[in-house]
Structure 1
Amino acid sequence: MKKVNIYFNRWFSVAYHYMNLIRNNEDGVPVQIFATHPDIRHMSLQGADVAGTEPAVTGIEYVQFCIDFCRSNEIDIFIPRLHMMDIALHAAQFDAIGTKVLVCRDLDLLEMMLDKGKFYEKVKDSGIMEIPEYHVVNTAEQFKTAYEDLVAKGLRVCFKPTETEGGLGFRIINNSRSPLQELFGYVTQHISFDEAYRVLSGAETFPDLMVMELLEGYEYSIDCLADENGRLLAAVPRRKDTGRLRVMEHIPELELIAERVAETYRIPFNFNIQMKYGGSVPKLLEINPRMSGGLHVSCLSGINFPYLAVKSALGGEVQPVSFGEDVLASHVEQPMIMKIFAESTIQDAVN
């Protein structure tokens, strides 16, 4: 059986797990995994058979780097994260060299999913799920007005950039903070309104921020798998519990939301819906049109999300699948030797 060549461009460290999940697939399909990153020692590359260094370029130059890499290495499947929009814009050039790109090709939809403010408007119009109370602002005065409006409704307030990944830029407004106590404690996401307003007032305008109600219930990531046409094949709600504990559990209303999202937007392959409860109501945080940072945990449900996406992209038959019993999971760090050096070369390698 011919090996399938699979390429990951710059990914998070957890791509190490995705690569091994694909490699150890249930069908015994042989794969060779390629990966690139600006840092050749990055953890994600340790799961690859062939690793390379990415150049410090953007836009069409970066896309051309990826095209050349796919051509020279006869890549069958390309799973991008970095510069996803640029790559999607030029997906036809990858088709032309025989490389299948696992990316949403609805460019308008992809652009909206990458901008939380625009996507909230889209979801609001569709009515398929609830969204938090929010305002999009780019001046200090707009920020103040938005904050006062939400507080008047009896809501706690947080804010984050409309274009970001993970928790970058997320802050909770807390006016009862003790700066001295915080100085001797952990770095916190809390900030007072006055401090935030002072910082934002230092610029005439700033990149769009979403000022929104703080949801204080359980947070769920719904990891989803769809075929190339966006037909939902699997959905696993994964809940953050205390510490490092994670729970994969059947929540009918969240599974229904996954079905509605798939039917409405037809997002292909792997995607992730992040929800958080406000009281008894699950509300949207964001949708990521890619594998989530915790997808390898959801795979403990028995569903190999990364491999099944690859199988579907290659034209294999993937039937809808559900997981069985609820699963409680966690993780511990695993030390790993990346390379053995002679004593005289260790300091050179570190430097």
Structure 2
Amino acid sequence: MTNIYFNRWFSSAYHYINMIRDNPDGQRFTFYGTHPDPGHLALQACDYSEQEPVLHGEEYVEYALDFCRRNEIGVFIPRLKMLEIAKEARRFDEIGTKVMVCRDIPLLECLMEKDRFYESLAGSGVVPLPEYEIAETAEQFKAAYEKLAARGHRVCFKPTNAEGGMGFRIIDNERSEQDKLNDLYGWVSAAISFEEAYGTLSSVERFPRLMVMELLPDEEVSIDCLADADGNLLAAIPRRKSSGRIYLLEDKPELLEIASRVAARCRIPFVYNIQVKYNNGVPKLLEINPRMSGGLYITCLSGVNMPYLAVKAILGQPFEPPVPQFGIRASYLELPVLMKPV
């Protein structure tokens, strides 16, 4: 039996733990989890859990090493502090813990900073990139906005190192006072006028780097990818967001070709996610996440149990490359869960 450890994951890890547990081979695993919130949903799927201290840098790595040593962890699937852990992966090897992480540190550092990753792909032909500029002063922001707007683009911006939709804003200069009032009574809007954004950014001399980009207004697609330990692509499944909570798992050659080119260039092992968004029929890169995505459990309705196959890959257990089912229309419902005592 192998002990598997998930540290401070999203609540979707609840699904991934159970997908590994309910594997078709009948392999037995014991699951360990840590999180600062002892009642976090991801921990409810674990056999053993521990409240994680709030630590940074080397202190966090030492905590994770000690946890793996104390609990004889065979496979560690990190999300928090992935880069710091990857840099010390050999120390985990020494205690018999296999870490499911990309060990190409320069690549991983680039993936964490979107502007650096875009620069590394510029002119490579791997995947089309949106037009963008980098700003860390209000005047740079103004110049970037004006440059992109002059090219006919709607403009948005986002921190270079944000995860998911954190910090994403769309510049909309047509917003009325009524629109702003409606924001107080309805859903929070990502829209902001240039003057509002510029005024806020002007309040400081310098701010964390922003990517000021062309807005990609059309459909968004996540391509969930499974690779072996050497980064050889085994399966790629595009998941397109449709209306509401509806997703479509589609066999689209242009997206599968992007996945193949990314795999050949980056050699990311195990499970990762490529996010693209369309503009005028062209899929352009948003970001690549070198981990299981939040919506992977929907992609796995294709018949490909990516979390379990990734575990098999890191354990060196052979398996045939999976053949996904496409043409699937899928959604999700809230799942009631009886919580364990804290």
**Could you tell me the TM-score, scaled by structure 2's length?**
0.97
Pick aligned residue for 2:140 from 139, 142, 146: 142
One-letter amino acid matched to 2:169: R
In 1: Cα distance, 2:323 partner to 2:253 partner: 12
Pick aligned residue for 2:89 from 88, 91, 97: 91
Deviations 1:52-106 (A, max 9, x none): 1111111111101111111111111000000001000100000000000000000
Residue 222 of structure 2 is matched in structure 1 by 221
Secondary structure, counterpart of 2:221 in structure 1: strand
In 2: Cα distance, 1:37 partner to 1:77 partner: 17
Residue 259 of structure 1 is matched in structure 2 by 260
In 1: Cα distance, 2:218 partner to 2:35 partner: 37
Deviations 1:305-349 (A, max 9, x none): 000000000001133223123111111112222147xxxxxxxx8
**1:154 and 2:152 equivalent?**
yes
**1:117 and 2:115 equivalent?**
yes
Residue 163 of structure 1 is matched in structure 2 by 161
In 2: Cα distance, 1:54 partner to 1:254 partner: 39
**1:246 and 2:244 equivalent?**
no
What is the Cα deviation at residue 182 of structure 1? 2.4
Deviations 1:227-282 (A, max 9, x none): 01000011100001111111111110100110110111100001100000111111
One-letter amino acid matched to 1:212: M
In 1: Cα distance, 2:182 partner to 2:40 partner: 36
Residue 208 of structure 1 is matched in structure 2 by 209
In 2: Cα distance, 1:48 partner to 1:184 partner: 39
In 2: Cα distance, 1:318 partner to 1:312 partner: 8
| Larger CA deviation: 73-82 vs 329-338 | 329-338
In 1: Cα distance, 2:17 partner to 2:153 partner: 42
Contact 2:247 2:329 in 1 (8 A): yes
Contact 1:227 1:268 in 2 (8 A): yes
Fraction of identical pairs, as percent: 58
Pick aligned residue for 1:16 from 11, 14, 17: 14
What is the Cα deviation at residue 176 of structure 1? 1.2
Contact 1:248 1:298 in 2 (8 A): yes
What is the Cα deviation at residue 166 of structure 1? 0.6
In 1: Cα distance, 2:123 partner to 2:229 partner: 25
In 1: Cα distance, 2:319 partner to 2:105 partner: 25
One-letter amino acid matched to 2:61: V
Deviations 1:1-20 (A, max 9, x none): xx111000010010000000
Contact 1:235 1:322 in 2 (8 A): no
Residue 56 of structure 2 is matched in structure 1 by 58
Secondary structure, counterpart of 1:167 in structure 2: coil
Pick aligned residue for 1:70 from 49, 68, 71: 68
Unaligned runs of at least 5 residues, structure 1: 341-348
What is the Cα deviation at residue 217 of structure 1? 1.3
Residue 281 of structure 1 is matched in structure 2 by 282
What is the Cα deviation at residue 220 of structure 1? 0.2
**Could you tell me the TM-score, scaled by structure 1's length?**
0.95
In 1: Cα distance, 2:340 partner to 2:103 partner: 40
Residue 346 of structure 1 is matched in structure 2 by none
In 1: Cα distance, 2:204 partner to 2:326 partner: 52
Secondary structure, counterpart of 1:284 in structure 2: strand
Contact 2:145 2:212 in 1 (8 A): yes
In 2: Cα distance, 1:100 partner to 1:339 partner: 29
**1:27 and 2:33 equivalent?**
no
| 1:170-209 paired onto structure 2 within 5 Å | 170-177=168-175, 178-209=179-210
Q: CA RMSD in A?
A: 1.0
| Larger CA deviation: 207-216 vs 318-327 | 318-327
Unaligned runs of at least 5 residues, structure 2: none
Contact 2:273 2:292 in 1 (8 A): yes
One-letter amino acid matched to 1:296: Y
What is the Cα deviation at residue 299 of structure 1? 0.5
Contact 1:117 1:210 in 2 (8 A): yes
Contact 1:301 1:323 in 2 (8 A): yes
Deviations 1:86-136 (A, max 9, x none): 000100000000000000000000000010000001111422110000001
Secondary structure, counterpart of 2:122 in structure 1: helix
Residue 34 of structure 2 is matched in structure 1 by 36
Deviations 1:144-174 (A, max 9, x none): 0000011101110000000011100000111
Deviations 1:12-51 (A, max 9, x none): 0100000000001111110001000001100110111111
